[in-house]
Chain A
Amino acid sequence: MDILISGLLLGGTYALMAMGLNLQYGVARIMNLANGEMLVLGGLAAFWLFTTAAVSPLLTAFVVAPLAFAGNWLIYRYLLLPLVRRAKSTGQLEVDSILATFGMSFALVGIMVSIHGEYFTYSYLADPFSILGSTVALNRFIAFLAAAAIGFALYYWLNHTYAGTAVRAVSVSTEAAGLVGINVDKVSAMAFALGGAVTAVGGTLISTFITLDASVGVIFTMKALIIMIMGGVGDIRGAVIAALILGLVETAVATIIDPGLTLASAYVIFLAVLLFRPQGLFGRRSS
């Protein structure tokens, strides 16, 4: 039961970063391997504001979101859009965006190491909290609630608003979206920026209960990618369920076998997905 609860709580926050990546890859078609660094940046902001000015990470999230949005918009507009324009095929764009975001990810790690080279240790709401008969840290629960709220807001926005519909249209086909009068570049930039903002806020939330450090981003990128593939690219619902599964499995492996094996367990899931359902949990097999 303990495993179930904390696994689901962890999965909730994973869902947030996977949603961010999903927007970036599904809509803007950028395989963003610097996604984990964006998450760590969100965590670094929370750590920094908490230790220097005792600002609650929940408030920090409101600062992080617009900053990350603006930063990611600029990255898309000035670094990635030229690659989109230059690419002759989707394959080439994939290679270019992978390499470019690798570059950004290393550059960000380098910058973060120079800002704070140690662990981002701080303690916020680490009080015990009882839920359904098992005890978890309050910060995990709060982070989960916040993640769920953001997730629902995003889901609603995508499915029930005009702008959200445009975003989904671009994710289906950039060409067709352009034909019905959607400004594909603008929508892509917005989706990329929004994805970055969601991921960074996820990082702010995660940092309340997982100690991050400057170079841990790639592990989160990896997990977000696994979740995205398991849930199916562009499928928010699938991503949430996949994130919960990953959270559960990781927590189970960490508690029962060894905390050092969480990445290995994520890989086992990844392998199973690739072998049996490469189109994602709810995806339909393409011809």
Chain B
Amino acid sequence: MTSAETGKLALGAVCVLAAASAPFFSDGYWLSIATTAMMYIALSTSWALFSGPTHLIALSTGAFFGIGGYLVGSGMSDYDQGFWTMALIAPLVATVLALLIGLATLRLKGVYFVIFTLGLSEMIRNLVSWVQNNFLGSRGLYVLTDFTEAHIYWMLLTVAAVVFFSGWWVNRSRLGFALRIIGNDEEVARHVGINTAWSKVILFMTTGFFAALVGAIVAPRYSYIEPNVVFSPQLSFLVVIMALLGGVHRLWGPLLGVIPFTLIWEAITISFPASTTLFLGLTFLLIVYLIPNGFVGAFETVTGRIRK
């Protein structure tokens, strides 16, 4: 490890500590926003670990997140399991699902993968509702824990820190290198002997794992779990948009997208609840046409020009 890397790790640790102190300074409204932001930081950063280098727009976050929340709800309500047991099982289930989806779609053209994930959370929601209505009886699922908002915030912060650390680790590993080559030219990657399908599947699995873990941790916030609430297709899009807005070619890029977007999104949902979809659409267009590499990309172009 070089000294520059040690420095980066130390800086990361300082940031985590600073973020961890947030609940001591704020409570109520701002803590709740910070918790939401932390949730999106973990989701967007882990999304970017896979979609950044491969350029494959995964829209599966909502599905994995839903699996996390739903399994926690169903485990605690129907099978008398503890929160921690379920929070451990849920990500594993999601990882296996990601493996299967990856094996089925990532060997083919990228666009098939995108399409497959597009309707995934809606499809799983339909399936889960059907199973619940016909076989389990349509009872609500309660997630009752002693966690306060601050506890959830700290748990999410831990997950986010782990995501960052694994992103940093993957970037300097052979896997990360392989993934960057795949993203630049898959043909070349195959010719130099990279197992392109497996590299993508492994990274996709980590994304699924973290999304379900976040879903499980956030479940106590809802208290009452319904398939219609946790399997939200909109979540997948929010995660994509925040990551792209910040920029996915740097590990800390999504972070820069999440913070402003969460604040604006919060303001819009409160003031103009009917216009959220329109706003989402316009942000997508803004990204594609004006800042294709996100804030980080725009910033780097500007500093690049100044240096010349």
Q: Which A residues fall within an 8 A CB radius of B? A: 31, 33, 82-83, 91-92, 94-96, 98-100, 102-111, 113-114, 117, 215, 218-219, 221-222, 225-226, 229, 258, 260-261, 263-264, 266-267, 270-271, 274-275, 278
Contact = CB atoms under 8 A, between A and B. Distances in A.
Contacts of B55: 91-92, 95
B118 interface: yes
Contact of A264 (B114, B123, B278): B123
Query: Could you tell me the dominant secondary structure of chain B's interface residues?
Result: helix
Query: Could you tell me the dominant secondary structure of chain A's interface residues?
Result: helix
Given A83-B288, A98-B57, A274-B112, 9 more contacts: A95-B57, A100-B288, A102-B281, A103-B286, A106-B280, A107-B281, A260-B126, A261-B127, A275-B104
For chain B, the bracket of interface size reads 35 or more
Contacts of B244: 99
Interface in B192-239: 233, 237
A218 B233 contact: yes
Given A91-B110, A218-B119, A260-B129, A103 B105 contact: no
A223 B19 CA distance: 44
B126 A106 contact: no
Contact of A106 (B57, B116, B277, B292): B277
A103 B129 contact: no
Given A261-B130, A267-B123, A94 B105 contact: no
B170 to A, nearest CB: 21
A99 B110 contact: no
Contact of B281 (A105, A225, A226): A105
Interface of B: 55, 57, 104-105, 108-112, 114-116, 118-119, 122-123, 126-127, 129-130, 133-134, 233, 237, 244, 274-289, 292
B136 to A, nearest CB: 14
Contacts of A107: 277-278, 281-282, 285
